[in-house]
Structure formats: C-alpha cells, structure tokens
Amino acid sequence: MSADGSITLVWGDGPNRFKFGIGQFRELQERINGRRVAIGAPLVGPMSLVKLLKANDAWPDDVRDILILGLMGADMPLNAAHRKMVKYFDGEAPLIHMTTALAVLMAGLAGAPGDDVKKKTTSHPQTTSTPQSSFPDSTEPVLQ
C-alpha cells in the first residue's frame, strides 16, 4: 500500500496491483463524461463517482473503466489488462466489482487504507538543539 495511489487487492485471479494517479483520473474523466455528454446526462467528478459506487449505482462501464485504468496505471500492459477484464469482468454481474472499483478509486484520491502519510513524515522526529547563549542564565532584577 502506498500514498502514490496504488493498492493491491484480490480480484479476478488473485492479488492484483492497481494504481490511480493523475493520468488515470484524466483518462477516466474523459471516458465517463464522454458517455454522459453523448446522451445529455449530467457530468460527474471523482467524488460523485465515489457516491455512485457506494450506492451501487455506478454505470457498469464506469466500474470497468476504473478497474482497467487502475491495472494499466500499475504498469500492466493494455492487452493483459484487457484480457483480465474480458475474463473476470465482462461475464459477471457488475455489482460484484463495485467494491473493488471503489477501493481503487479511493486509493487514488486519498491513499490506500492504513497508509497514513502524516505518520510517514513524522515517524522519525527530528531533534533540534538550541545553541548555547553566552549570556548568564538569569538577570538581576531591575530596581526602580
């Protein structure tokens, strides 16, 4: 798991690495909104798509696009990713893939579960030392 938008999930034939970076988000935006423009449906952004996936109301092609783009984002060649989609997605009910698609999309948006970016940046606290002053530790009281 990593804050780079990647996550490994059991899907299809076993563990598969998915990665959703800015390139995958751009491609997803073009694909999902291209379909919507063609039929006059409202455009959706990533968080709208998250809501649709959580409600099990995303379009099947949107779910498929998330999965294939995630596989390709993790450096799987297009032809291998396409074969996987044909074998494990196309012949199945899309609903069973929505949880996986949601996890892939969320890893791209917020990092994988359990991947605390703040923890990584503060896991090695830096100690700083204050230089010693040449002035005395205390001063005499001021008399008025």
- pLDDT tens digits in sequence order for the chain, 144 residues long: 457 899 999 999 999 999 999 999 999 999 999 999 999 999 999 999 999 999 999 999 999 999 999 999 999 999 999 999 999 999 999 999 999 999 999 999 998 776 655 444 444 444 444 445 454 554 555 555
Has residue 120 been placed in a domain? no
Has residue 127 been placed in a domain? no
28 is in which domain, residue-wise? 6-107
**Secondary structure, 3-state, 121-141:** HHCCCCCCCCCCCCCCCCCCC
Has residue 131 been placed in a domain? no
Q: Please tell me the total count of domains within the chain.
A: 1
Residues 6+ away with beta carbon under 8 Å from 61:
31, 32, 35
Has residue 48 been placed in a domain? yes
Q: pTM value?
A: 0.76
Has residue 81 been placed in a domain? yes
Has residue 29 been placed in a domain? yes
Has residue 21 been placed in a domain? yes
